A and B are shown apart, each in its own frame.
Chain A
Amino acid sequence: DQQVKQNSPSLSVQEGRISILNCDYTNSMFDYFLWYKKYPAEGPTFLISISSIKDKNEDGRFTVFLNKSAKHLSLHIVPSQPGDSAVYFCAAPDRTGANNLFFGTGTRLTVIP
């Protein structure tokens, strides 16, 4: 099952420009979404999250947008920096308060200096 899907395996962006990473989900019961960032040889680290009662959450250069009707969320990074180059995973708990996450397959972002 692929309840959380990231259809773009990779994305390249020039430094200073906007990076947009997309994620789709199929389970309408999901009510919370998270983005994790992963560098090589490291575990995933939490980046930003959004509750389904919101359509936008912003934290510095990172903004997550949620479109519930389309079952789609996106992560915007502005401006992109070379240090942002990593694999980005979107994830959702399988039910409210659950302590296991469904992850997408990830998108590898490369920010070109």
Chain B
Amino acid sequence: EPEVTQTPSHQVTQMGQEVILRCVPISNHLYFYWYRQILGQKVEFLVSFYNNEISEKSEIFDDQFSVERPDGSNFTLKIRSTKLEDSAMYFCASSARSSLNTGELFFGEGSRLTVL
């Protein structure tokens, strides 16, 4: 069964350092997302990406965050200068269609980021 894969599974970094989280979406999917879950809190939408550009982003997704699809397969989330409050589980997701009214959103296993 096709799946979304994410690396690394866990990254520990010092505050102020840059972090890149990588994702390989399901191969025939066209819509890509990043969500995050701070420990004990709800899963929150960060950004959606389609046709090589951001289609929507939340208030969380400020100038410290960026996404790109550098090579047609990977989908990356970069945090330029990490803060303590960026510590969270980051989930990549992909879908074949833009509408989520069918539940067709597939999540990866997540990348846990710990900022010290």
Name A's B-contacting residues (CB within 8 A).
2, 4, 32, 34, 41-46, 48-49, 51, 89, 91, 93, 96-106
* Chain B positions within 8 Å of A104 at CB level: 42
Name B's A-contacting residues (CB within 8 A).
4, 31, 33, 35, 41-45, 48, 50, 55-56, 58, 91, 93, 95, 98-110
Determine if A101 and B107 form an interchain contact, defined as CB atoms under 8 angstroms apart. no
Closest 8 pairs between A and B when the two form their complex, measured CB to CB = A43-B107, A100-B45, A103-B43, A46-B103, A97-B99, A105-B42, A49-B103, A32-B101
Determine if B101 and A93 form an interchain contact, defined as CB atoms under 8 angstroms apart. yes
**Cα–Cα distance between A73 and B42 once the two chains are bound (Å):** 18
Closest to A42 in B: B109
Determine if A41 and B42 form an interchain contact, defined as CB atoms under 8 angstroms apart. no
Closest to B92 in A: A43
Determine if B44 and A99 form an interchain contact, defined as CB atoms under 8 angstroms apart. no
* Chain B positions within 8 Å of A48 at CB level: 103
* Chain A positions within 8 Å of B106 at CB level: 45-46
* Chain A positions within 8 Å of B42 at CB level: 2, 4, 89, 103-106
**Cα–Cα distance between A43 and B37 once the two chains are bound (Å):** 11
Determine if A51 and B45 form an interchain contact, defined as CB atoms under 8 angstroms apart. no
Partner of A102, one of B45, B98, B104: B45
**Cα–Cα distance between A70 and B31 once the two chains are bound (Å):** 33
Partner of B33, one of A91, A100, A103: A100
Partner of B43, one of A45, A49, A89, A97: A89
Quick one: given A100-B33, A106-B42, are A46 and B101 in contact (CB under 8 Å)? no
Closest to A39 in B: B109
Determine if A99 and B104 form an interchain contact, defined as CB atoms under 8 angstroms apart. no
**Cα–Cα distance between A16 and B43 once the two chains are bound (Å):** 30
Quick one: given A43-B91, A44-B91, A104-B42, are A99 and B100 in contact (CB under 8 Å)? yes
* Chain A positions within 8 Å of B33 at CB level: 99-100
Closest to B31 in A: A99
Determine if B95 and A99 form an interchain contact, defined as CB atoms under 8 angstroms apart. yes
Determine if B98 and A44 form an interchain contact, defined as CB atoms under 8 angstroms apart. no
Determine if B45 and A44 form an interchain contact, defined as CB atoms under 8 angstroms apart. no
Determine if B108 and A43 form an interchain contact, defined as CB atoms under 8 angstroms apart. yes
